[in-house]
Chains A and B, each alone.
Chain A
Amino acid sequence: MIPRFLLLAFCGLLPLAVRAAPTADPAQDPGWQDLFRRLAPVKNREVPFTEERYFPFRRTPVVLAGVVRIVPSRGLSLEYRAPESRIVVVDAQGVLVREGAGQRAAPDDRRAQAATTALGAVLRFDPAELARDFELSGDRQEGGWTLILTPRDPALAASLHSIAVSGSQSHLSRIELNAGLRIEIFLGPAVEGAAFTAADLARYFR
């Protein structure tokens, strides 16, 4: 259950779209290595996003909007602003949800732990780590690129079939998550080196 949620968070991190057929092994390909290097966050990053969840029992997708914040030394924070205010923190300690005045940890789940670890690897854009947890394939055409990640862990793969991350140049712009339901996340332009105050860090991270 939770892995999908974690990977949703993960999606919020990696911007951009995918449609092209996978053709190369990004873990070995020097071109992909260079892209990973450019995508790896070395500074704070802030990205607006829109998330669309296509539940099979709803006529229209549920649309959520917010801001993704990344602090390399701390992890990732998803701030949902609409339709409800909520913050999801993903870091080395796991996943934390803040709502109103309270907060709660994501439940303990072996698969959730694996996904959190994977998320950490993705955050670092370390191809070796990504290759360890996912089968990677990708396609790069005329500046655009698509990366497809398929979980190696069968338990995880049972609930999360694949993640497609796409973008152009060194910009992540879209993530599509195939987890029984389809989730699409569209990312806006990233603000590199965003300045976060101590209050921001306390609010959005732990």
Chain B
Amino acid sequence: MDRRRQSWSARLALAAFAALCLGWLARLDYARKISTDVLDLIPPEQGSPELGLVRDLAGNVQSRIMLFSLANPSAPGQPPVAAAHAFADALRRSPLFAEVLPLDDATGRDRLGQAIFERRFTLLLPSWLGQKAREFAATGLAADRFSPWLADRAAGALEAYLNRPEAVAMQEFIPQDPLLLVPGLLEQAQAIGSPAARSGGTALVWARIAPSPLSDAGQAPVFAVVDGAWAGLRADHPGLALRWTGVNRFAAASRARIEAEIKALNFLSLIAVGAVAVLFVRRIWKLLHLVPILICALLGAWTLSTLVFSRLHILVFVIGSLLSGVAVDYAFYIYMQPFLRPDETYGEKLGRLLKPLLASCLTTVIGFSLLLWSDLPLLRQVGLFVSAGLLCALGAAMLYFAQLRRPFLEGRTLGAVGAPADGSPPRFRPALRALALLAAAIAVLGPWRLHWRDDIRELDIPSAELQANDDAVRSEFGDGSDRAVYLTYGDTLPAARQHLADFLGYAAQADPAAKFVSLGAVFPTEDDWLAFPGRLRELGGFPGDFSSALVRHGFTAESFSPFFGAWSALVEKPPAGDYAGIYADLAPALAGPLGQLYSPRPPLPWFMTIVDRPAGPPVPAAFATVSVDQLQTLDRLFTRYRWSALRLSLVGLGLIIASVFTIYPPRRGLRIALIPAGSCFFVFGLLGLLGQTLNLFHLLGAFLGVCLSHNYSIFSSDSAQARAATPVPVRLSALCAAASFGVLSFSHIPVVHALGLTVALIVLTALSAIELEPLIWGDSRPPR
């Protein structure tokens, strides 16, 4: 092919590729395609019920809740209740707010109290009878003694109850409820108190927004409504102070932070890479030839990723932008290799370089492709993004330089590091060997001292100010470190309720002094519900027995005629019907925050339990109960992902090494494999000895670092064989990568920080190994 035709063919191919990619990318709805929701980083199910709970809690209802706290600093201790109502009214006027409730408003609680009282024989009596039947069974008495035994126990409990302070308040209900079904429930609830009881001088407003807090509609427009309502309120009550929180505030801050970080880090990376380039390249403007290649690599990565995945997290693009650090290697290598002869064509030069280029690119792609088998969507997305980007980078580099007449970028060789010009052994060789031994010891021993800790919050962007505000507001609403919240779940509603009963029994035994409150206790277990009609039948003589027992305990039995009338009606027509029906029946009374205390919906119904003390050790798996703290970190789950990523990385590394040994002779293959692997273990060893705590993303960074080092190792293979100085493209490439990833290590985004730090350290270690390798092994020939 003549040069002109070759040039136009390459140009056309690149233009067609760019047009196709741009055409596809222009059609995308980025608001739907790119997510900032941390939950999109974790798999939908994967057999982990914890994830189902997190999704249900955070994705559906809980994340839409916003909490407002109003105070009047000039009148501490006096909640500005009227102002809170006015504020709530203003929020309610916006369709963006689906539900707004001032928490001093007892309407909801009264409605629930009334609904439970009216349904006490359907909801509470089956559990009460079931519990008493189990206690009776433990006595070993004959079955026909159950009714008198029960009557005496109930009358005795009622007599004791009258000594309690709340008996005075409940006295008008007692003739209808002498079994104390409702007072027993109230007593449990009082053990925890209520938000308003803990709020001191603040008036609290609870709200649920209609749009997702992670969408645009759930952020700026909602904030505008809040600002408007607050401005209106301040006009009438200038001295008031407002604090508020919601997931949307975190999401908006997180998005702003990521955008700002991306801009700042990219700019600083560019400066750092430019500074390195100035050191090695004579005509620096010629580096502009690398820009189209990087653009093609990123276009290819974006296009293929968005084609394959229906939704991608923004972090994929943040991490994926690091792809430039790897993609530029091929361009450097092709561009900075001199032509061997004046008449050598580009095709001949490329043919000469093809083996290291393909070896480097394909082995790295194989490694990253393995991430496609990860359980973690983020890793799958990064794996595809980087693999696609690398292939496009190599293809684009090969095509792009085909357009140029004689593509060659002259670099400064700078000679071999530390080698005397006369070829004699360097004086510091013993010291270098000692250092190499020390590094080897660190690489072998250090990793054993590593501490791993995985936390889903590493994926999010920390905001200390917002977090402090959130903690303060939530504390006023009753959340606090002095109490624990557990979620008990099951595959079905009856299973979830039975797990709750088992968990409450276990918890009461484990810590008898602790108080547990769960809305689930309002509902009977399915076993008690199904046994209820039979138990009622067995208690045919109970009214008579109970009447006598009441008299014996000092009561006037005729005062309880409302109860006896209701009991007769119940025995005549016991409650029947679907177990789920009792939940549906009470649902209308569970508005506002009360509705957040359980979820009867499939696929994973759950009940919340609040305990008046901090969370203890994890609950045994048999109880299907997990603390919300545990859910917030998802640490166990992420540890599983880390091990999965580690296995995949090790398999990838094995494949890379195997490929190298297939392509290169054993001695060269060993060198190529040892440099990246040794650098990686050295860095992990160093971090281990320094007491650093690592996570999944350090591991991912290590994989990226190993792939980069692997490139340098291959590209320097010929020069190492020839005892020549390290090739300029390798030095330039490695230092550019170290500089750009080093910049990333200053990121406030934990994931980016972990990746940047790990990659930079591994790349620098690998480059040092490549540079110092001849001095350590003792080849006394002078460097060329």
Contact = CB atoms under 8 A, between A and B. Distances in A.
A105 B167 contact: no
A53 B192 CA distance: 28
Nearest to B197: A108
Given A58-B554, A108-B193, A180-B172, A84 B165 contact: no
A80 B165 CA distance: 10
Q: Which of A58, A94, A159 has the most CB of B within 10 A?
A: A58
B555 A57 contact: yes
A18 B515 CA distance: 42
Contacts of B556: 57-59
A14 interface: no
Nearest to B195: A108
A58 B555 contact: yes
- Please classify how large the interface on chain A is, using the bins under 10, 10 to 19, 20 to 34, 35 or more: 35 or more
B194 A107 contact: yes
Interface stretch (B183-191, B342-350, B580-588): B183-191
B168 A107 contact: no
Nearest to B199: A108
Contacts of A101: 513
Contacts of B189: 107
A62 B163 contact: yes
A60 B196 CA distance: 38
B195 A83 contact: no
Contact of B168 (A60, A97, A179): A179
B559 A56 contact: yes
Contacts of A53: 162, 167-168
A9 B169 CA distance: 12
Contact of A107 (B167, B175, B193): B193
Contacts of A83: 163
- Please classify how large the interface on chain B is, using the bins under 10, 10 to 19, 20 to 34, 35 or more: 35 or more
A106 B198 CA distance: 11
Contacts of B469: none
Given A57-B559, A108-B194, A4 B168 contact: yes
Contact of A102 (B165, B170, B515, B560): B515
A187 interface: no
Contact of B164 (A58, A86, A108): A86
Contacts of B193: 104-105, 107-108
Interface in B190-216: 190-198, 200
A24 interface: no
A203 B131 CA distance: 34
Given A60-B554, A181-B168, A181-B171, A110 B197 contact: no
Contacts, number: 94
Interface string A67-108: 000000000000010011010100011100100011011111
Nearest to B550: A57
Contacts of A110: 104, 106
Contacts of B194: 105, 107-108
Interface string A1-25: 1111100110000000000000000
A57 B174 contact: yes
Contacts of B513: 101-102
B166 interface: yes
Contacts of A1: 166, 169-170
A200 B16 CA distance: 87
Contacts of B200: 93
A108 B168 CA distance: 17
Interface in A17-53: 53
Contact of B165 (A60, A97, A108, A179): A97
A84 B168 CA distance: 16
B232 interface: no
Contacts of A94: 197
Given A53-B162, A55-B162, A58-B556, A105 B197 contact: yes
A105 B554 contact: no
B414 interface: no
Q: Which of B169, B515, B556, B560 has the most CB of A within 10 A?
A: B169
A105 B193 CA distance: 6
Interface string B136-177: 000000000000000000000000101111111111101100
A119 to B, nearest CB: 14
Contacts of A64: 163
A1 B165 CA distance: 11
A196 to B, nearest CB: 22
B559 A86 contact: no
A192 interface: no
A153 interface: no
A157 to B, nearest CB: 15
Contacts of A118: none
Nearest to B557: A57
Given A94-B197, A105-B197, A59 B554 contact: yes
B77 interface: yes
Given A58-B555, A105-B197, A4 B169 contact: yes
B593 to A, nearest CB: 12
Contacts of A108: 104, 106, 193-197
Nearest to A60: B554
A195 B153 CA distance: 43
Contacts of A5: 165-166, 168-169
B186 A183 contact: no
B721 to A, nearest CB: 78
Nearest to B77: A92
A108 B204 CA distance: 13
A41 B238 CA distance: 38
Interface in B59-97: 77
Nearest to A8: B168
Contacts of A109: 106
B108 to A, nearest CB: 12
A106 B162 contact: no
Nearest to A155: B106
B191 A102 contact: yes
Interface in A119-163: 159
Contacts of A107: 186, 189-190, 193-194, 197
A8 B165 contact: yes
B190 A57 contact: no
B190 to A, nearest CB: 5
Nearest to A95: B165
Given A2-B169, A57-B174, A104 B515 contact: yes
A59 B555 contact: yes
A80 B167 CA distance: 14
A104 B190 contact: yes
Nearest to A92: B77
A57 B174 CA distance: 9
B202 to A, nearest CB: 13
B193 to A, nearest CB: 4
Contacts of B77: 92
Nearest to A94: B197
Given A59-B556, A83-B163, A106 B515 contact: no
A14 to B, nearest CB: 17
Contacts of A105: 190, 193-194, 197-198
Contact of B171 (A3, A9, A55, A102): A55
Contacts of A62: 162-163
26 contacts: A1-B170, A2-B166, A2-B169, A4-B168, A5-B165, A5-B166, A5-B169, A53-B167, A55-B174, A57-B560, A58-B162, A59-B556, A92-B77, A101-B513, A102-B191, A104-B193, A106-B190, A107-B186, A107-B190, A107-B193, A108-B104, A108-B193, A108-B195, A109-B106, A180-B171, A180-B172
Interface of A: 1-5, 8-9, 53, 55-60, 62, 64, 80, 83-84, 86, 88, 92-94, 97, 101-102, 104-110, 159, 179-181, 183
Given A60-B554, A106-B197, 7 more contacts: A2-B169, A55-B162, A59-B555, A108-B104, A108-B196, A110-B106, A180-B171
Interface of B: 77, 104, 106, 160, 162-172, 174-175, 186-187, 189-198, 200, 513, 515, 554-556, 559-560
